[in-house]
Amino acid sequence: MSARRVGGGAAPWLLAIDSATSTVVVVAGTLDGEPIAVETFAAGHRHSQYLLPTLERLVEGADLRLDDLGGIVVGTGPGAFTGLRVGLATAKTLAHQLGVPIVGISPAEALLDAAGGGGVGPPVRLWLPAGPHDRLAVDSGVGPRRERDVPADDTVRMEIAVDLPGRAADAALERGRAAVAGLPAALLRLGARRLAAGERDDPERIVPEYVTPPRGMDPRLDLERGLAWSRGPR
């Protein structure tokens, strides 16, 4: 089961994990963001079951070693909470245990980048599901907004939609599929850029980007406080 071996001296590599959409992406690349090996799977509700076996397959299949890992890129959302938590629990534990830098990337930003909307000019608008009924809009260069907060905007250059069958136009869904196909490379590209610029996230603190507060949640909730520690017998 181990991917750690002694000896060697192979080139360091990057690992990117995104589990924000229904397609889980696990990709290995060079430090400058060129893909080496890609594994994807349709998660359904099985992110937790399949992510680690997929990671093992990626590492073994590409003959990589965890000891050579040079950085981790992880999708932080917005997206489905369950998937994001599985991806982040795995990525942050890897970064923490191996002592390698980790950076969070918005998969929406990566999808826009993959669809060619990352540059200047009129915005490209990405639609993502927010629960079973609502949608989130992410315009290139603008953060996620609930559908009802998004003004009608005729300067939008094109729309792409991910994970919204029956809830978006066919052309937008088709562009969404193409963007998902380009997601592994885009994650690596954006992550490699942040890492090369010396940016780092704290593996202990990195959590999903939560756009919607859950039902029953206290609006004053502060995860940084309110924990009572018991340190055991010593």
Partner 1 sequence: MSGPLVLAIETSCDETGIALVEGGRAVHANVVASQVALHAPAGGIVPEVAARAHLRWILPVLDEAWTAAGVGWHDVDAVAVTRGPGLAGSLLVGINVAKTLAWVHDVPLVGVNHLEGHIYAAWLKDALQDLPDPSFPLVALVVSGGHTFLAEMRDHLSYRLLGATVDDAAGEAFDKVGRLLGLPYPGGPAIQRAAEGAVARDARFPRAWLGDSFDFSFSGLKTASRRTIDARRADARLVPGEPLPEPLTAELAWGFQDSVVDVLVTKTIRAARDTGARSIVLGGGVAANAALRARLAGEAEALGVPLIVPRPGLCTDNGAMIGAAGARRFEAGERAGPDLEARPSLQLASP
**Alpha-carbon span 14 to 71, nearest angstrom:** 5
Determine, following the binding rule CB under 8 A, whether residue 66 of this chain makes contact with partner 1: yes
> Is residue 231 close enough to count as binding partner 1 by CB under 8 A?
yes
Q: Is 52 in the site for partner 1 (CB under 8 A)?
A: yes
Q: Shortest Cβ distance from residue 24 to partner 1 (Å)? A: 13
**One-character DSSP codes across 73-133:** EEE--SS-HHHHHHHHHHHHHHHHHHT--EEEE-HHHHHHHHTT-SSSSSPEEEEEEETTT
- Beta strands 102-105; 124-130: pairing state: unpaired
Please report whether residue 178 would count as binding partner 1 according to CB under 8 A. no
Is 68 a residue that touches partner 1 (CB under 8 A)?
A: no
> For residue 197, how many other CB atoms are within 10 A of its CB?
9
- What's the min distance (Å) between Cβ of 125 and partner 1? 28
DSSP classification of residue 68: G
Residue from 35, 37, 56, 194 touching partner 1 (CB under 8 A): that is 56
Among 40, 65, 81, 156, binds partner 1 (CB under 8 A): 81
233 binds partner 1 per the rule CB under 8 A: yes
Per the CB < 8 A criterion, the answer to whether 58 and 39 are in contact is yes
Continuous segment of H or E residues that includes residue 16: strand 13-18
Q: How far is the CB of 67 from partner 1 (least distance, A)?
A: 10
Q: In the window 96-115, what residues touch partner 1 (CB under 8 A)?
A: 96-98
Q: Which of 20, 55, 74, 136 touches partner 1 (CB under 8 A)? A: 55
SS3 26: strand
C-alpha 224/C-alpha 214 separation (Å) is: 18
Q: Which residues sit at the interface with partner 1, rule CB under 8 A?
A: 1-4, 46, 48-53, 55-56, 66, 81-82, 85-86, 88-90, 92-94, 96-98, 203-205, 207-208, 210, 214-218, 220-221, 223-234
